[in-house]
Amino acid sequence: MKAVLDGVVVAEADDDAIVRIEGNAYFPPSSVVEGALSKSPTPYTCPWKGVAQYWNVTAPGGATADDGAWSYPEPYPASFDRVGSDYSGYLAFDPRQVQVTS
């Protein structure tokens, strides 16, 4: 799968490395292009996953999507059973701003 912003790939991973949660594809942190993310101050806490970290996504030489991605650096351990795996630090992209394709 690929996450594309302004025609530039910002993350790419094999389908079997993707974790799917609530209709979103979560990419492993190692699949994100270096320098594509910067922390956002936007707060959010999911009642069953925990505290989220939002990220601004920048395509190298291109556009920026404010709050274009999010992750759960330290999700609630109980959520691993619901999801089926440890998704700590995995990143999902806002489909309104970043195109995710297979």
Residue by residue, pLDDT tens for the chain (102 residues) are: 999 999 999 999 999 999 999 999 999 999 999 999 999 999 999 999 999 999 999 998 889 999 999 999 999 999 999 999 999 999 999 999 999 998
CATH classification number, 2-101, choose in 3.40.50.720, 2.170.150.40, 1.10.3470.10, 3.30.360.10: 2.170.150.40
CA–CA dist 77, 3 (Å, integer): 27
**Domain parsing of the chain, residue ranges:** 2-101
pTM given for the model: 0.96
Residue type, 99: Q
User: Which residues make beta-bridge pairs with 37?
Assistant: 57
